[in-house]
């Protein structure tokens, strides 16, 4: 996989993760309220500015998140399409995008929502990394064989 293809695949996966975070904020008022309250406390403690959590602030956050779903999905599809053109195979682009989505969703969920990551998540992550390494290695070997065949003909 070319470096540009890898970058596009990771960008697509991260945008998909951000779209899912936006969906959680847009569609779950209790989660949005908790996050806004936490951010308000952090801002008032760090900057010294007192922010009160109001229903309007939660509503604005939910509306911005709903728009974020559309924007992040649009960018995700654009980057995913680019990665499929730039990678040596569509399977490689799909696996890289899915893996980065999986990783970024877990990290953002842990940071923003204090979600727990179980042993199966870590096991799955290791298996996905091994799978990506195998795919990448196979693509490199295939590209080397093609280049050698062109040189000999």
Question: pLDDT tens, position by position, for the chain (153 residues)?
Answer: 468 999 999 999 999 999 999 999 999 999 999 998 888 888 777 777 776 767 888 999 999 999 999 999 999 999 999 999 998 888 889 989 999 999 999 999 999 888 898 999 899 989 988 988 888 776 666 666 656 666 776
**Alpha carbons 72 and 77: distance in angstroms, whole number:** 9
pLDDT of residue 28: 95
pLDDT of residue 131: 87
> How many helices (DSSP H) and strands (DSSP E) are in the chain?
5, 0
pLDDT of residue 109: 92
pLDDT of residue 62: 97
**Alpha carbons 133 and 128: distance in angstroms, whole number:** 9
- For CA atoms 32, 38, 39, 40, the dihedral sign is positive
pLDDT of residue 19: 98
Return the domain boundaries, the chain: 3-152
CA 40 from chain centre, in angstroms, equals 26
């Amino acid at each position: 996989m070319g470096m540009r293809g890898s970058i596009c695949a990771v960008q697509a996966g991260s945008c998909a993760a951000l779209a899912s975070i936006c969906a959680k904020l847009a569609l779950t008022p209790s989660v949005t309220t908790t996050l806004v309250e936490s951010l308000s406390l952090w801002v008032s403690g760090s900057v010294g500015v007192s922010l009160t959590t109001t229903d309007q602030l939660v509503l604005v956050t939910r509306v911005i998140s709903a728009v974020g779903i559309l924007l992040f999905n649009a960018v995700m599809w654009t980057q995913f399409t680019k990665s499929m053109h730039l990678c040596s195979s569509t399977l490689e682009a799909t696996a890289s995008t899915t893996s980065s989505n999986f990783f970024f969703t877990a990290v953002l969920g842990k940071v923003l929502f204090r979600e727990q990551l179980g042993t199966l998540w870590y096991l799955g992550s290791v298996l996905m990394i091994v799978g990506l390494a195998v795919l990448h290695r196979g693509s490199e070997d295939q590209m080397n064989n093609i280049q050698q065949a062109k040189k000999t003909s």
